[in-house]
Structure 1
Amino acid sequence: MSEEPKAKQSQAGHVNSEAEARQKMVRGSAWMTAGSMFSRILGALYVIPWVLWMGSDYTQGNALYAKGYNIYSFFLLIAIGGIPSAISKQISEYNAMNEYAVGQRLFKRGLLLTAAFGIAGGAIMWFGAKPIAVIFGGSDPNVIPVLKALAIALVIIPSMSLTRGFFQGYQEMAPSAISQFVEQVFRVLYLLGATYFIMRVQRGDWFNAVTQSTFAAFIGAAASLLLLAWYYYRKRPELNALAEQSENQLVIPVWKLFRDIIVQAIPFIVVDTATTVFNLLDQATFQPMMKLAYHLGVDQINTLYAYFAFNANKLVMIIVSLASAIAVTVVPLLSESLASHNMRNIRKQLEDSIILFLFIMIPGAMGMAAVAQPLNTLFYSYDQIGTLILQIAAFTAILLGLFTVVSALMQGLSRNRDIIRFYLIGLLVKIIVQWPCIYFLSTAGPLVATAIGMAVASMMAMYDLERNFGIRYVKILPKVNRILMYSILTYITARVLVYGLNFIFNEQSKFQSLIIVLVAVAAGGCVYAYFALKSHLADMMIGSRAAGLRRKLRIK
């Protein structure tokens, strides 16, 4: 065979490999985005009846809920130990080497490890609830029963998360996505049922309702774990077949499997706890700093804390979860490319990941900022301070999401030490600017300080990716500019509609705020969709279906 046909075959192979990798990433992102989005939306929608049933105590309830969940999130991430992401990464690498049996042994040993971590973490949180509440809960005694309720969920969630990581290692995103949604459905059903019974039937105390609302995490996790076990049972014949046709060249002792899991997991622990550590820093510093700067009472500070730590955070995390969905999808793909030393695929996947993230995140954040006033009224109440905080939180969410994505990219490429270093520098920046931000910006201060810290860490990581993997930011800049331009048009459309509809509808009514939100979001979404289809940016998300939509909508 001549050199020319060989070169053409090689080139065709590269093209097919890139197309297949992109298809996997888009398909995986679609599943994870859908699961994450539905879960987050459901996790936000429950707030509407929950706030109504909590009555005038809802801001204090929100503050207590946020305090308990921030501490729980930190313990949860330590208990999970980054193991699901590490397992996903390792299984992808073993599968790429046709060592499926090793990956399956890794999963089974990992279940033992996560069960031990879950029991240990739950015990520490249960028996240490009082001192933990003193350190991070501002000596609020109501935090103690909330932590004990959450400690029960901590026992089983690590094993549930590990099983999701196992499926992700096979690039099977559907079980993870569906289990996320099921978890949220059962959690919300129990949460709302318990709150209604305590507040409306028993006429009980609001902090008992918050305690039962947090215990709902266990109910959701149990339902999710059962569903994942069913998926695994269905998949077992296929997994056994893959294990039988493995190369079986790798013989790894059990102790080495455990060691590999822990070594791989440590970087994921540090980076995965980034947002939670930032939140805990706010929780520990906001009250004393606000007292020092503004001489406010505890109840006033709790109300202001709830504005950004619960109210805004609950809504903003809907769009940040999109970034997480992309991040989870790309790690096993990058690990696979790294194992096969395919630098061309790596660079392409990095560039596609960033564009995919910005394509979703920027219009989502700007759209939320545009409808912040009716959205805040719908979920909580008509409140100018709450609206302003939600607007600021929506913009800072872009930087939170960016760090989520670039840290996942770095970890997928085994740049673990570097991303930990960048994160710690970002955390140090956050600590340095926290006091001046709170002093000058009051309630918005912690959000701005977080954004500055995340921006520093993200920029350092992006420079590292450019230097070591040849990612070409100049090449993707035209697409970024178009995304930004279309997002600004989306923002203007939604913002003008909100302003105009406020003259027609009562902006303080929850139902009428819902109408304003729906109309503004639909109009803004149509504007963005039109330009995304016309410029062919949408082709990255939905592939060949974009051409069909252009024909149907007569977009040239």
Structure 2
Amino acid sequence: MAKWSTDKKIKPDNFGRNSATNKTAKEKMLRGSAWMTVGSIFSRILGAIYIIPWYGWFGADKLQANALYTKGYTVYSMFLMIAISGIPSAVAKQVSHYNAQNEYAVGRRLFKKSLLLMVIIGITCMSVMWIGAPWISQGDANLVPVYRSLSIALIIIPVMSLTRGFFQGYQDMFPSAMSQLLEQIVRIIYMLVATFFIMRILKEGYVTGVVHSTFAAFIGSLGGLLILILYYFRKKDYMDQLVLQSSNQLKVSDGRIIKEVLYESVPFIIIGVSTTVYNLIDQFTFQSVMQHFSELSVRRINDWFALFAGNANKLIMITISLASAMAITVIPLLSEAYTKKDKGQISIQINDALELFLIVMLPCSLGMAAVAKPLYVIFYTYDYTGIFVLSFASYIALPIGLFMVLSSLLQGVYQNKIAIKYFAIGLVVKVIIQVPLVAFLQGFGPLLATGIGMMVSNLLMLRFFYSHFEMDYHRIVRRFDGLLFFSILMFMVALGVVHLSSFFLNQYSRIQSLFVLILAATAGGYVYIYLCLKTRIADKILGPRVETLRRFLRIK
């Protein structure tokens, strides 16, 4: 557990420079968020683009294949979070905590001891998922090989995630971003090659294609781990210098190190699985509720499930990944400020993190809702219901993303119990309203239940920050009002372009839909950027560097 530190010694940073020349916390957050955003965005975009050929190769069974794939990944995500055990985020937090006290040697030892722990946990979880596959498949024999192909990745991914957390503890987000990107590239290459060979050349069933698609998670993890290992040895000399210059005033036993990591990891586990738990509730309740309240066949119910849990979810995760990137960046920074007992800096970082979330997530969510039609056609072909589901899901991405940021802020200032408590309250709300909303709204019901549950948690967390950390509520509201107004104008412009284009272009064509998407995104994006730069709200949130963009666009 972190304690207030009175250490005022000037120390070198992770590149051996004096801390007096270090960047400000806001600049670190913006730089770290930029790297994590680049990695997350490109990773998510690649993870969405592959669906275009992959989806088509399954032919008439494409929705069934996507439903099977989605169900497999939902359960796998739960096992993955257990295997990772929140330890990578806890390590990032504790490494930052010790580095702030110039105890780099303790942070290095913490990483090495946690590494062995992650190997043991990963092998254990892999074994449980492999052996338990028949029992968690809900009687669906097709799911058993899917679960088992995914379980193998649990051997590698915990080690990879821990290494990312170690670098994040130094506020170095570049290796995590590059690892995430390479992992996705390798995974998709294997996935597409294997699926094409199985479905188009061997002409085998869709289950075999899905099994190899999910096995790609293991192949991708090997690529992601490789770049982290190379980066570690590249930076090892720098980090060795920091260890040699450590104060070595803290005497921390190996047992205490492991105990600290495990203690700090528990809230990260619970919060980390939050969206997965919400998805699991959908997976295990949707079919039974729909069978009870509707006359739809099991195949049609699975089609509905694929529309909101598979197709729409895959695309909105592109925008939600932005919030994840911000959340990962802010935890070690807040932990460092907390360790130094700098309450003023904590308050500033909370405000900065929320403003950064608003300036990015508001236009992204509303923008995706505006271009839902061409976007859906590009990835999945035209489907009237699927387009509306995607548009609705785009709005739900906002409370989900805000929850990720706020819960991470709470954990960064060691308010773990509060984060868990508010998550639990929101989850209870989701459970209570799930059945009636599914019964009345079908595929839209689970999405709305998730949005309401997350929003309840968000309001409670915002109230806590306002009461305990002197959050500048009025400033946040002013920023929100302005950015929301700009985002709505952007939404109207983009939506107008989409609707007008339907009179001249074929809305069923992927190529023409791509043209519409580019046109609408460009027009809407320019309106938003112009207004943010013209009113100088971008300067207040992102700093003076946006002046370069203003000059480039010739905005006075």
TM range (shorter): over 0.9
Instruction: Provide the secondary structure at the position in 2 that maps to 1:67.
Output: helix
1:498-513 to structure 2, matched below 5 A, reads 498-513=498-513
Match of 1:57 in 2: 61
Which whole-Å CA distance do the structure 2 matches of 1:470 and 1:316 have between them? 32
Which whole-Å CA distance do the structure 1 matches of 2:209 and 2:174 have between them? 33
Large movers: runs of 4+ above 4 Å:
16-19
* CA-CA distance at 1:183 after TM superposition: 0.3
* CA-CA distance at 1:533 after TM superposition: 1.2
Instruction: Provide the secondary structure at the position in 2 that maps to 1:299.
Output: helix
1:174-189 to structure 2, matched below 5 A, reads 174-189=174-189
Match of 2:362 in 1: 362
- Specify the code of the residue in structure 1 equivalent to 2:96: S
* CA-CA distance at 1:103 after TM superposition: 0.1
Of 106, 111, 125 in structure 1, the residue corresponding to residue 115 of structure 2 is 111
Of 35, 38, 43 in structure 2, the residue corresponding to residue 34 of structure 1 is 38
Instruction: Provide the secondary structure at the position in 1 that maps to 2:442.
Output: helix
- 1:548 to 2:552 alignment: no
Greater helix fraction, Structure 1 or Structure 2: 1
- 1:155 to 2:178 alignment: no
Of 67, 71, 76 in structure 1, the residue corresponding to residue 75 of structure 2 is 71
Deviation by residue 1:193-213 (Cα, 9 ceiling, x = unmatched): 001000111111111111100
Match of 1:44 in 2: 48
Deviation by residue 1:407-461 (Cα, 9 ceiling, x = unmatched): 0000001000011010011000000000111111111000000001000011101
- 1:408 to 2:408 alignment: yes
Match of 2:440 in 1: 440
- Specify the code of the residue in structure 2 equivalent to 1:377: V
Match of 1:388 in 2: 388
Instruction: Provide the secondary structure at the position in 1 that maps to 2:203.
Output: coil
Which whole-Å CA distance do the structure 2 matches of 1:541 and 1:307 have between them? 36
Instruction: Provide the secondary structure at the position in 2 that maps to 1:388.
Output: helix
Which whole-Å CA distance do the structure 2 matches of 1:346 and 1:73 have between them? 32
Distance 1:296 1:445, change over 3 A: same
Which whole-Å CA distance do the structure 2 matches of 1:106 and 1:552 have between them? 47
* CA-CA distance at 1:553 after TM superposition: 2.4
Instruction: Provide the secondary structure at the position in 1 that maps to 2:498.
Output: helix
Which whole-Å CA distance do the structure 2 matches of 1:541 and 1:304 have between them? 40
* CA-CA distance at 1:541 after TM superposition: 6.3
Instruction: Provide the secondary structure at the position in 2 that maps to 1:280.
Output: helix
- 1:22 to 2:29 alignment: no
Does the CA-based 8 Å contact 1:356-1:540 persist in structure 2? no
Which whole-Å CA distance do the structure 1 matches of 2:420 and 2:352 have between them? 23
Match of 2:242 in 1: 242
Match of 2:285 in 1: 285
Q: Mark the runs of 5 or more structure 2 residues left unpaired by the alignment.
A: 1-19
* CA-CA distance at 1:552 after TM superposition: 3.2
- 1:347 to 2:351 alignment: no
Which whole-Å CA distance do the structure 2 matches of 1:466 and 1:17 have between them? 32
Does the CA-based 8 Å contact 1:93-1:339 persist in structure 2? yes
Which whole-Å CA distance do the structure 1 matches of 2:541 and 2:314 have between them? 26
* CA-CA distance at 1:543 after TM superposition: 3.4
Does the CA-based 8 Å contact 1:26-1:541 persist in structure 2? no
Which whole-Å CA distance do the structure 2 matches of 1:458 and 1:344 have between them? 23
Match of 2:190 in 1: 190
Deviates more, 1:272-281 or 1:247-256: 247-256
- 1:371 to 2:371 alignment: yes
Instruction: Provide the secondary structure at the position in 2 that maps to 1:128.
Output: helix
Which whole-Å CA distance do the structure 1 matches of 2:217 and 2:440 have between them? 37
* CA-CA distance at 1:258 after TM superposition: 1.1
Deviates more, 1:56-65 or 1:249-258: 249-258
Does the CA-based 8 Å contact 1:486-1:528 persist in structure 2? yes
* CA-CA distance at 1:257 after TM superposition: 1.1
Which whole-Å CA distance do the structure 2 matches of 1:367 and 1:167 have between them? 33
Which whole-Å CA distance do the structure 1 matches of 2:510 and 2:140 have between them? 32
Which whole-Å CA distance do the structure 2 matches of 1:18 and 1:369 have between them? 40
* CA-CA distance at 1:546 after TM superposition: 1.6
* CA-CA distance at 1:31 after TM superposition: 0.3
Match of 2:200 in 1: 200
- Specify the code of the residue in structure 2 equivalent to 1:555: I
* CA-CA distance at 1:542 after TM superposition: 5.2
Instruction: Provide the secondary structure at the position in 1 that maps to 2:58.
Output: helix
Does the CA-based 8 Å contact 2:355-2:541 persist in structure 1? no
Which whole-Å CA distance do the structure 1 matches of 2:21 and 2:324 have between them? 25
* CA-CA distance at 1:540 after TM superposition: 5.4
- 1:228 to 2:232 alignment: no
Deviation by residue 1:7-51 (Cα, 9 ceiling, x = unmatched): xxxxxxxxx999701000000000000100000000000000111
1:158-169 to structure 2, matched below 5 A, reads 158-169=158-169
Which whole-Å CA distance do the structure 2 matches of 1:485 and 1:185 have between them? 37
- 1:92 to 2:102 alignment: no
- Specify the code of the residue in structure 2 equivalent to 1:316: I
* CA-CA distance at 1:252 after TM superposition: 1.4
Of 124, 130, 145 in structure 2, the residue corresponding to residue 120 of structure 1 is 124
Distance 1:19 1:104, change over 3 A: closer
Deviation by residue 1:187-229 (Cα, 9 ceiling, x = unmatched): 0000000010001111111111111000000011011101101
- Specify the code of the residue in structure 2 equivalent to 1:35: G
Normalising by structure 1, we get a TM-score of 0.95
Does the CA-based 8 Å contact 1:72-1:150 persist in structure 2? yes
Which whole-Å CA distance do the structure 2 matches of 1:524 and 1:56 have between them? 36
Instruction: Provide the secondary structure at the position in 1 that maps to 2:341.
Output: coil
Does the CA-based 8 Å contact 2:187-2:216 persist in structure 1? yes
Does the CA-based 8 Å contact 1:195-1:212 persist in structure 2? yes
Does the CA-based 8 Å contact 2:118-2:159 persist in structure 1? yes
Which whole-Å CA distance do the structure 1 matches of 2:425 and 2:477 have between them? 27
Match of 2:7 in 1: none
Normalising by structure 2, we get a TM-score of 0.95
Does the CA-based 8 Å contact 2:376-2:387 persist in structure 1? yes
Match of 2:105 in 1: 101
Does the CA-based 8 Å contact 2:352-2:541 persist in structure 1? no
Deviation by residue 1:224-248 (Cα, 9 ceiling, x = unmatched): 1011011001111111110011010
- Specify the code of the residue in structure 2 equivalent to 1:49: P
1:251-270 to structure 2, matched below 5 A, reads 251-270=251-270
Match of 1:515 in 2: 515
- Alignment length, in residue pairs? 537
1:448-487 to structure 2, matched below 5 A, reads 448-487=448-487
Match of 2:493 in 1: 493
Does the CA-based 8 Å contact 1:533-1:555 persist in structure 2? yes
Does the CA-based 8 Å contact 1:45-1:379 persist in structure 2? yes
